[in-house]
Structure 1
């Protein structure tokens, strides 16, 4: 017992202070309620979409399978941040353990990367559907569909795993995270020594994924528009149908890019308050997951019809 007592002290777990929002006294419960409402909207909207697609065999087609992957991606991003934020508002607790911080940052970055790679796969699917309609079913087979979706997730997960591998045994000289959620860049800024390799790697994968997906999606839509207007010369309904099949994907991509751009622009204005910057940073996590189910339902007539049928059928059974 004496030897154990005199031995080296146990290594204390690393605990960060996640500052979050500057909450005025007495406003915590109200902000908790707002965060709870936002998370409920995300869960209900995306939950309805994924349940209806799973239950309706008519929707077991590539476009809707990919929408399911987008739903999972949206839920990953929102769940990584909002529950912890709600606890912060309700209890005032700011501490977050090292592994929890790494897990949160990993999920947030994976959400951002996977969203882009999945949207890239959807662009490929829409390109085949419009430009090669007669060969669509032979090209986009079930095996190829699941392979493309798996590849989108694998690429995102491997790139982000590489990014967070730089945190292994990294000494931190500060434990205060001046943000609402953990991210690689913010945590790297707390390191005792410069981390140029991590910074370069982060910039390279961010630029590569964002730029390559933007170019790929843009080229796909150029070809889609060319094919749609070419087909529309003989039958305008064909052009309308072709453009409608791409509307969901295009709007979701625009919403994601706009919320990301808002964050980038907000940090270029020093006069923007910290609370405002943090709030705009939350748009990236809340807006796409909350808005996307509405986009799926409004733009996709098949999904909207299936939702109404599922709910009306269950209501009739209860009566």
Structure 2
């Protein structure tokens, strides 16, 4: 079938399998998680933007992570909430909307890595070169790092989806909870070797560079802390880096499981569950383990909360 004629057709999204008894509990639980993600991430984002005292490199770079979490959850959860209440035979989506959704899904996943990489770099400079930190982490450098994190992800994901939309299709069922690249090229009956090669290369390069940069960064930080005899500085460094590391590991493990499970058709339902976790758990945990662990942000939020209580 000609790709042009199929491109604007309607696809059926398989979605997640939920028993009739679990529909409303699952809906309420997921809705509450989404509300928490939105309130916590947007609240911290607004605090950083409004409070000039928080206009420091670490917090400004963190804005990228909160914005990405908001985008990813908004892309994923509302659609899933709708599908939960929709009969499985009526979960339709247009091909164009599916491609757009897949692009944003992979952009969200990729920028999770690139943003945490630039945040690790920030901590590396702050701990290993404290005297040179203001000169290195200037406003211009923050902009370059942020644009680089999003720009690299945009280009890599653009190529990934570009290779997929060139294919013709002979199927119309998306075997996933949401549209992604793998689910899209599985619609084709053509040879998808190029897609698999690029997808595998893309994944290996992303995960290798991400894990490699984080490991090297923290090894270097650990060496500096071991050599330093300042207990207060070491304690602050460990606290700051541990929150970043926890956020990174949660994102890495949930994302890696989704990628691996795509290679095993028998684990489709398990993959869907971990895909849901990737879009709910890290965005929900990041404001707690990263944002609220920051003393300055925590003080500002508690101050706002006390003012509202006193005003009542």
* Alignment TM-score > 0.5, same fold: yes
| 1:43 alignment partner, SS class | helix
Equivalent residue, structure 2, for 1:112 = 109
Equivalent residue, structure 1, for 2:24 = 29
Which of residues 154, 168, 173 is equivalent to 1:171? 168
Equivalent residue, structure 2, for 1:162 = 159
| 2:12 alignment partner, SS class | strand
Correspondences of 1:243-282 after superposition (within 5 Å): 243-263=238-258, 274-282=268-276
Equivalent residue, structure 2, for 1:133 = 130
Equivalent residue, structure 2, for 1:17 = 12
User: Compared with structure 1, are the counterparts of its residues 268 and 164 closer, same or farther at alpha carbon in structure 2 (3 Å cutoff)?
Assistant: closer
User: Compared with structure 1, are the counterparts of its residues 129 and 260 closer, same or farther at alpha carbon in structure 2 (3 Å cutoff)?
Assistant: same
Whole-angstrom CA distance in 1 between matches of 2:135 and 2:20: 62
Whole-angstrom CA distance in 1 between matches of 2:269 and 2:194: 31
1:271 deviation in Å?
6.7
Q: 2:297 matched to 1:303?
A: yes
Whole-angstrom CA distance in 1 between matches of 2:257 and 2:209: 21
Equivalent residue, structure 2, for 1:6 = none
Q: 2:64 matched to 1:64?
A: no
The answer to which of 130-139 and 54-63 deviates more is: 54-63
| 1:173 alignment partner, SS class | coil
1:263 deviation in Å?
3.2
Which of residues 185, 188, 195 is equivalent to 1:191? 188
Which of residues 255, 259, 284 is equivalent to 1:290? 284
RMSD: 2.1
Task: Report if aligned partners of 2:42, 2:70 keep a CA contact under 8 Å in 1.
Answer: no
Whole-angstrom CA distance in 2 between matches of 1:200 and 1:109: 17
Number of equivalent positions: 306
Largest Rg, 1 or 2: 1
Equivalent residue, structure 1, for 2:99 = 102
Task: Report if aligned partners of 2:257, 2:271 keep a CA contact under 8 Å in 1.
Answer: no
1:280 deviation in Å?
2.2
Whole-angstrom CA distance in 2 between matches of 1:295 and 1:69: 16
Whole-angstrom CA distance in 2 between matches of 1:292 and 1:145: 20
Whole-angstrom CA distance in 1 between matches of 2:181 and 2:264: 22
Segments of structure 2 that go 5 or more residues without pairing to the other structure are: none
| 2:11 alignment partner, SS class | strand
| 1:242 alignment partner, SS class | helix
Whole-angstrom CA distance in 1 between matches of 2:151 and 2:309: 40
Task: Report if aligned partners of 1:159, 1:205 keep a CA contact under 8 Å in 2.
Answer: yes
Q: Deviations over 1:3-23 (max 9, x none)?
A: xxxxxxx95732111011223
Equivalent residue, structure 2, for 1:78 = 73
Task: Report if aligned partners of 1:266, 1:280 keep a CA contact under 8 Å in 2.
Answer: no
User: Compared with structure 1, are the counterparts of its residues 270 and 156 closer, same or farther at alpha carbon in structure 2 (3 Å cutoff)?
Assistant: closer
1:26 deviation in Å?
5.3
Correspondences of 1:139-150 after superposition (within 5 Å): 139-150=136-147
Which of residues 226, 232, 235 is equivalent to 1:240? 235
1:180 deviation in Å?
0.4
Q: 2:307 matched to 1:313?
A: yes
Segments of structure 1 that go 5 or more residues without pairing to the other structure are: 1-9
Whole-angstrom CA distance in 1 between matches of 2:14 and 2:102: 15
